[in-house]
Chains A and B, each alone.
Chain A
Amino acid sequence: MLLKSAITTRRVFLRSNLGMGAVFMAGRASGSDSILGPQGTAPGGKSRVVVARDEKLRVGNSSPSQDGILKILDRALQTFFDRDQPIEAWKQLVRPGEVVGLKVNCLAGRGISTNRQLVEGICERLQQVGVRSIVIWDRLNADLESVGFKIIEGNAGIRCFGNDFAGYEQELAVYGSVGSLLSTTLTRICDAVINLPVLKDHGITGITGALKNMFGAIHNPNKYHLNVGDPYVADVNMLPAVRQKIRLSICDATTAQYEGGPSFMPQWTWPYNGLIVARDPVAMDYTCWQIIERKRAEKGLEPLSRVKRAPVYLSTAADSRHQLGTCDPNKIQLVET
């Protein structure tokens, strides 16, 4: 029901937010924006989603520059946490001494995966706030290497490896429709995780965003693509280790793809030149979905609902049983900067 109302108000949502320039919210963030806060809540109990963009992020078809991405990242985090300095924003997120995981998405190779430059920028900021142990991880070493990450093992510092190196738990984690072995990187190595999905279309689940990216933390994602991923995507995110350890999602939308995903299809990508930041993964994914829908409409493609790929699992993730966030645009505070 919630999803239906969300769909009917989509146009209003887009017009009033994405298309109309920055809506910077003044004022300090509430106390809930602390490390232990449940969501990135804005005044009025809304979920805050920050979309930070820079049209000059790259020249032509070149890769985004390191400096350019760091600037957007800082702007996005400062806006999200409402802080004047980047370091102060990051202090809201992690504590010195914590082991922080960066869950990237590298399935589609260099064309449309989490940018190395973004990851490097995050590592730089984490180190500045006293985090000494960072783990960049995804499902497979090969996927990470395909994007240009170097596999680094060891016990401290900046490490990078796939679940195929770290392994999985031996006991099933079960919630609802899902029973999976979780990556030990998530369960044993990391104290906190920053989720770094990409903004792209998905041929089965409609989009891949923050929620879907956690399929990379389980051993059997192939079992959970039925029925447009509903309720599986929501259920995976209910697994305690997933739900409790993810502190923030930063969607790499420097390059986005509106059709043909999850594989890289250059003919359907466009330079969005942005980052999307949220604590509420449902609100983030709803925002991602609307961005993709707007691009599809611009390109004359049918809405995802017409091609039976609307991400209905967002509604499930937002329902009273899951309460992972909201996909009601009236409860999302979209901040564009």
Chain B
Amino acid sequence: MKFHDPQAMKLERPCFDLGDVDRRIFLKSMSLPCLAVACGAAWRAAPAEASPAAESDAQYVVEARFYEKLPFKKIKCKLCPRECVIDDHERGYCGVRENRGGTYYSLVYSRVVSMNVDPIEKKPLFHFLPGSNAFSIATAGCNVNCKMCQNWQISQVRPEQIKATYMPPEQVAKQAALHACPVIAYTYSEPVVFSEFMIDAAAAGRAAGLRSVVVTGGFVQTEALKKICSTVDAIKVDLKGYSQKFYKEVVNGELKPVLDAIVNIRKLGVWTEIVCLVVPTLNDSEEEFKGLAQWVKTELGPDVPLHFSLFHPEYLLTNLPPTPISTSSAPRPLQMPKGSTTSTLGMYRAILRKVPTAPNATRYWSGAADSSLWRSGLRKASVPTAKSRFQASGAEKFCDRHLLNLGPDVQTKVRCVCQD
């Protein structure tokens, strides 16, 4: 298999950390040699390399599901709010969907460019099967172009510019089960642009008793979103900021459709968590945080986890410093008054991610009702007892979505915040 290309490995960036123990387990359990060479990082291909000329793309090409045909062999994509009108032989903004003779095709069906076994907290999903592993996959492509993209080597390239492996939906489910992952995660790039593949893989996973979670920017049209929501179990939305200006200038997208999508995800009953990457000087004003928290509380409810993660210079934003690291840098409107179980804006769960307080440690601060929840690293989570979390949350019922995985034999139900 072509994954053994040493050049590809040289280019790889180990940005997805697994703890030592997990890496060993991970490597030992991997049946695909190509995954093993990833050395604990997500396997990612080299974007700068050309694909072998002889490689056939046909196996990755399926007719797209969300588009309409226009006169003169044009089409209008109906997958995301951008609604690209695309001429014959041309592609949409995402670069992974192409008009061929008036029919629109996805070029990334089963075309996996990145796969890994991740703790689900890395998505981050803190309240969906916590402690479990997620078999995480991605294809090339994205429908926005964030200047601070951490994964631009796969999200901002075209499928033929990056090495891939053929992994049809059933195989995705098989691999997840093989690696003892109860969850399949569609992540790293933008799963919306590989909706056809994701929907089918999620269905295959569901048939095999697996859950599916999506990590997305939420820039998606309602019809496509409904289809996605009908097959997946949780969605983490990267809400890039809370101003149209930021979305226009930094994300190359639009804010309102994303907000609408998040509301719809909640309405459709899919477990939702939100992450905002705090970029110094660009989306870190107190007004913006306040507006964001207020919106989450009002439109979604105070129990929707709102994570804040830290920016580091990457892609087209290498001129900015990393987000200042200190617990005091937690957005002030979200900080918890002493003795309170909610933040000043009533958020139960405002989480500042990746706050190292000791060398080689990654801590997660939760300014929330369960503020005793300090996590050091993803796999060394100091998981609170189910009882304490349940009591702290004041929940009234259980849901199996929130099975707390405390080990191979122990699963404890904790607070349910979904509408089931």
Which A residues are closer than 8 A to B by beta carbons?
Answer: 107-109, 140-141, 151, 163-170, 172, 174, 179, 181, 203, 219-220, 222-223, 225-226, 260-263, 265
Q: With contacts A163-B50, A167-B48, A179-B316 known, is A220 near B156, CB below 8 A? A: yes
- A164 contact from B51, B85, B88, B93, Cβ within 8 A: B51
- B73 contact from A167, A172, A263, Cβ within 8 A: A263
Contact of B48 with A170 in the complex, beta carbons under 8 Å:
yes
Residue in B closest to A203 when the chains form the complex, CB atoms? B87
Query: Taking the nearest CB of chain A, how far is it from the CB of B278, in angstroms?
Result: 22
Say yes or no for B91: interface residue by CB 8 A criterion. Answer: yes
Contact of B157 with A220 in the complex, beta carbons under 8 Å:
yes
Say yes or no for B94: interface residue by CB 8 A criterion. Answer: yes
Residue in B closest to A267 when the chains form the complex, CB atoms? B72
Q: Which of B11, B50, B91, B316 has the most CB of A within 10 A?
A: B50
- B145 contact from A170, A181, A223, Cβ within 8 A: A223
Contact of B93 with A225 in the complex, beta carbons under 8 Å:
yes
Query: Taking the nearest CB of chain B, how far is it from the CB of A133, in angstroms?
Result: 20
- A179 contact from B49, B74, B87, B315, Cβ within 8 A: B315
Contact of B53 with A141 in the complex, beta carbons under 8 Å:
yes
Say yes or no for B124: interface residue by CB 8 A criterion. Answer: no
Q: With contacts A223-B156, A225-B93 known, is A166 near B50, CB below 8 A? A: yes
Contact of B53 with A165 in the complex, beta carbons under 8 Å:
yes
Q: Return chain B residues, CB-CB under 8 Å to A167.
A: 48-50
Task: State the CA gap A174–B315 with chains docked (Å).
Answer: 10
Q: With contacts A168-B161, A222-B158, A223-B156 known, is A261 near B252, CB below 8 A? A: no
- B315 contact from A107, A109, A172, A260, Cβ within 8 A: A172
Q: Which of A140, A179, A203, A260 has the most CB of B within 10 A?
A: A179
Residue in B closest to A225 when the chains form the complex, CB atoms? B93
Residue in A closest to B86 when the chains form the complex, CB atoms? A203
Q: Return chain A residues, CB-CB under 8 Å to B252.
A: 223, 226
Task: State the CA gap A166–B157 with chains docked (Å).
Answer: 16
- B87 contact from A166, A168, A261, Cβ within 8 A: A261
Contact of B88 with A174 in the complex, beta carbons under 8 Å:
no
CB-CB contacts below 8 Å: B18-67 with A: 46-51, 53
Q: Which 5 A-B pairs have the closest CB atoms?
A: A263-B88, A170-B48, A167-B50, A222-B95, A179-B316
- A169 contact from B48, B85, B145, B315, Cβ within 8 A: B48
Q: Return chain A residues, CB-CB under 8 Å to B88.
A: 263
Q: Return chain A residues, CB-CB under 8 Å to B85.
A: 203
Q: With contacts A172-B316, A263-B87 known, is A223 near B49, CB below 8 A? A: no
Say yes or no for B233: interface residue by CB 8 A criterion. Answer: no
Q: Return chain A residues, CB-CB under 8 Å to B160.
A: 140, 164
Contact of B53 with A108 in the complex, beta carbons under 8 Å:
no
Contact of B50 with A263 in the complex, beta carbons under 8 Å:
no
Interface 1/0s, chain B 145-177, versus A by CB < 8 A? 101000000001110110000000000000000
Task: State the CA gap A223–B93 with chains docked (Å).
Answer: 5
Q: With contacts A220-B157, A223-B145, A226-B252 known, is A108 near B50, CB below 8 A? A: no
Q: Return chain B residues, CB-CB under 8 Å to A222.
A: 91-95, 158
Contact of B93 with A262 in the complex, beta carbons under 8 Å:
no
Which B residues are closer than 8 A to A by beta carbons?
Answer: 11, 46-51, 53, 72-74, 85, 87-95, 145, 147, 156-158, 160-161, 252, 315-316
Q: Return chain A residues, CB-CB under 8 Å to B11.
A: 170
Task: State the CA gap A225–B82 with chains docked (Å).
Answer: 12
A-B pairs with beta carbons under 8 Å apart, 11 shown: A151-B53, A164-B50, A164-B160, A167-B48, A172-B315, A181-B157, A203-B87, A220-B95, A260-B72, A262-B87, A265-B72
Contact of B72 with A262 in the complex, beta carbons under 8 Å:
no
Q: With contacts A108-B89, A164-B51, A261-B87 known, is A220 near B158, CB below 8 A? A: yes
Query: Taking the nearest CB of chain B, how far is it from the CB of A112, in angstroms?
Result: 11
Query: Taking the nearest CB of chain A, how far is it from the CB of B339, in angstroms?
Result: 48
Residue in B closest to A143 when the chains form the complex, CB atoms? B89
Q: With contacts A165-B50, A167-B48 known, is A219 near B316, CB below 8 A? A: no
Query: Taking the nearest CB of chain B, how far is it from the CB of A319, in angstroms?
Result: 19
Q: With contacts A169-B48, A181-B47, A222-B95 known, is A174 near B161, CB below 8 A? A: no
Query: Taking the nearest CB of chain A, how far is it from the CB of B171, in angstroms?
Result: 26
Query: Taking the nearest CB of chain A, how far is it from the CB of B76, in angstroms?
Result: 12
Q: With contacts A181-B47, A226-B252 known, is A263 near B89, CB below 8 A? A: yes
Task: State the CA gap A165–B161 with chains docked (Å).
Answer: 10
Query: Taking the nearest CB of chain B, how far is it from the CB of A170, in angstroms?
Result: 4
Q: Which of A140, A151, A223 has the most CB of B within 10 A?
A: A223
Task: State the CA gap A180–B235 with chains docked (Å).
Answer: 30
Task: State the CA gap A222–B95 with chains docked (Å).
Answer: 6
Task: State the CA gap A194–B47 with chains docked (Å).
Answer: 27
Task: State the CA gap A169–B157 with chains docked (Å).
Answer: 12
Task: State the CA gap A163–B89 with chains docked (Å).
Answer: 17
Q: Return chain A residues, CB-CB under 8 Å to B50.
A: 163-168
Residue in B closest to A260 when the chains form the complex, CB atoms? B72
Task: State the CA gap A168–B156 with chains docked (Å).
Answer: 13
Q: Return chain A residues, CB-CB under 8 Å to B92.
A: 222
16 additional A-B residue pairs with CB within 8 Å, beyond A108-B89, A165-B53? A140-B160, A151-B53, A164-B50, A164-B53, A164-B160, A170-B48, A172-B315, A181-B157, A220-B158, A222-B94, A222-B95, A223-B145, A223-B252, A225-B93, A226-B93, A260-B87
Contact of A219 with B158 in the complex, beta carbons under 8 Å:
yes
Task: State the CA gap A174–B85 with chains docked (Å).
Answer: 27
Task: State the CA gap A107–B89 with chains docked (Å).
Answer: 7
- B90 contact from A169, A179, A263, Cβ within 8 A: A263
Query: Taking the nearest CB of chain B, how far is it from the CB of A204, in angstroms?
Result: 8
Q: Return chain A residues, CB-CB under 8 Å to B73.
A: 263
